Amino acid sequence: MALKLAVSILLLFVLFRKIDAERLWASAREASVPWLLVALAIYLLNVMASTWRWYLLLGAQGIRVQASTLFRSFLVAQFFNNFLPSNIGGDVIRIRDTARPAGSKTLAATVVLVDRALGLMGLVLVAALSATILAGKHQAAIPIWPSWLWAGFLVGAAASAPVVLAPEGVGRLLQPLTIIHPEWVGGRIDKLTEVLCRFRARPSALAGCFGGAVFVQASIVVFFAAVAYALHIDVTFWDLAVIVPLSFVVQMLPVSLNGFGVREATFAAYFRGIGRPIESAVLMSLVAAALMMLFSLSGAFVWFTRGESGR
């Protein structure tokens, strides 16, 4: 934890040494409040779409939970993701909240992991499509080639296909782990295989969740576009559609405190490559993160109104 904090502070320190802080704060003061509210509204739509994806996957497993209940749980998960020094705290909340209706923590955890995997694939697909559209415009300045993104997407699809199409093979592949505890580990492997077989029998749920993932990633790009408009930052939608997914991928690396510093450095490197001021990159990244954290405070309200048993 100390190392993560040190990395975040060091990267932010280096960035602020390279920018004109007065210019940055002046730009922040000139931000359009109505457009920031529009960005928050777009983020609400993003959270609702994310909840629907979760609802769809649970339904494929025969788990009936009200969408409103899942929405409140997702809000709490957002709060934990933003205010705990980890980006998986929210997943723990989602697993905990659905383990009882699912009758199995393994089932609930597998649904969340599948949701995460499809979300990551949707994220890479949006970045790959956008980078391809930008090819020939200022591709030489972009720090990543479209072919890399397409390769990442195809590798992920190739690795995921056997998991869905041949879940029994996944179970056999994991069998050596039973040496740790034959009964407990064996039971978890059997449950995992059962869950994957249900997904194989309901491919429409996986297809719908993946389509929802693409929508979610596209809507988060629109959210950043609204933030850019509010801050009067001159950057194209397609540039944002490349850098925003890439910044989320970088934030998954466990090297910083909730992505701070690493996210801003990623934006700065991209903006410098396309000839935009670093101040604009840092300002956009920090304001967008602040809006997400502000929105996630609603999850804190839901959490504290649950009562002791709910918490």
Q: How confident is the model at residue 168 (pLDDT cuts 50, 70, 90)?
A: confident
Q: How far apart are CA 308 and CA 196, in angstroms?
A: 34
Average pLDDT over all residues of the chain? 87
Q: How confident is the model at residue 210 (pLDDT cuts 50, 70, 90)?
A: very high
* Diameter over CA atoms, the chain: 63
Q: How far apart are CA 79 and CA 82, in angstroms?
A: 5
Q: Which of 200 and 71 is assigned the larger pLDDT?
A: 71
pLDDT(227) > 90 = yes
Q: How many CA atoms lie within 13 A of 165 on its CB side?
A: 6
Phi, psi for 214 (deg, rounded to 5): -65, -40
The token duo for 225 is 């576009």
Residue type, 263: R
Q: What is the pLDDT of residue 275?
A: 83
pLDDT(140) > 50 = no
Q: How far apart are CA 171 and CA 177, in angstroms?
A: 10
How confident is the model over 189-212, as a mean pLDDT? 90
pLDDT(289) > 90 = yes
Contacts of 187 (CB under 8 A, 6+ apart): none
Q: What is the pLDDT of residue 302?
A: 92
How confident is the model over 111-125, as a mean pLDDT? 92
Q: How far apart are CA 212 and CA 205, in angstroms?
A: 10
Cβ burial of 110 (10 Å; 0-12, 13-18, 19+) is buried
Q: How far apart are CA 140 and CA 254, in angstroms?
A: 29
The token duo for 97 is 């909240």
Tell me the whole-structure pTM to 2 decimals.
0.89
pLDDT(139) > 70 = no
What residue segments make up the domains of the chain, in order of their start?
32-304
pLDDT in tens, 42-93: 999 999 999 999 999 999 999 999 999 999 999 999 999 888 766 667 889 9
Q: DSSP string spanning 78-144?
A: HHHHHHSSSSSHHHHHHHHHHHHHHT-HHHHHHHHHHHHHHHHHHHHHHHHHHHHHHTTTSGGGSSS
Q: What is the pLDDT of residue 143?
A: 60
DSSP letter for 20, please.
-
Cβ burial of 59 (10 Å; 0-12, 13-18, 19+) is middle
Q: How far apart are CA 67 and CA 193, in angstroms?
A: 26
